[in-house]
Amino acid sequence: PIETDEKIQAVITVKEFDENNYFIMGTKKGLIKKTQMSQYASIRKNGLNAINLKDGDELIGVRMTTGESEIIIFTRNGYAIRFKETDVRPMGRTATGVRAITLRDGDITVSMDIVAEDQDVLVISENGFGKRTHISEYTAHRRGGKGIITYKITEKTGAIAGARVVKDGDEMMLINSS
C-alpha cells in the first residue's frame, strides 16, 4: 500500500488484463468483491471506480486471482474464515460486494490473502507477538460465516495487527508506530 495524506492506496502491477483473471477486494466491514480484470483495461485519466464503499468502510486488501482460488480473511479480534472464491459471484466495478465474514460486535477485518497449499499463516498481534500455523488447520467453510478462532486475544498480546499466508524463505518487515 502507498500512504498519502488522504488515504491508503493499493498498487498491483498488471502486465495483461486477462478476462479469465479477477481482482478480489476485501473491506474492513467484512465485505468481499470479485471483478473481472478486463473491466479495468480502459483507464481514463481521472481513474476508475473499483468499488463503492459504504460510510465508515475501508479497503483492506486487493489480490489477483484465477477464479478458482480460496480466500482467507482475518479479524482484529482473532477470527479467520477460509472459503472458495467461487462462493463470490463476479460483479461490476461499481458494486459494493457481499458479506465475506459475519463480524462480531466491535470487530473489523484486518487482512485478506489467497490460500496456497503447503504454506502457513503468520498472525502478528499489536503487541508484537506472532503465531505461525499450517494452512491445513484452517478448514474451508461457506462465505459469510463467523469464522474460527485463529489467535487468542489477551491483554498481553493485544489485538491482531495483520496476517499473511507465508512460506519458508519469505522475508517480512514489521514496523511499529514508535
What letter would DSSP give residue 78?
S
Tell me how far apart the alpha carbons of residues 56 and 78 are, in angstroms, rounded to a whole number: 21
| Predicted pLDDT of residue 26 | 94
Give the list of residues 6+ apart from residue 38 with CB closer than 8 angstroms, or none. 17, 18, 19
What pLDDT is stored for residue 176 in this prediction?
A: 75
Query: Quick one: pLDDT at residue 125?
Result: 94
Give ∠ CA 35-41-95 in degrees, rounded to 5.
Answer: 30
Residue 108 in contact with residue 28, Cβ under 8 Å? Answer: yes
Q: What is the pLDDT of residue 2?
A: 45
What local confidence, expressed as pLDDT, does residue 45 receive? 73
Walking along the chain (178 residues) 10 residues at a time, the average pLDDT comes out as 49 63 93 87 74 88 91 96 94 88 95 93 93 94 94 94 93 80
Which pLDDT score is estimated for 16? 60
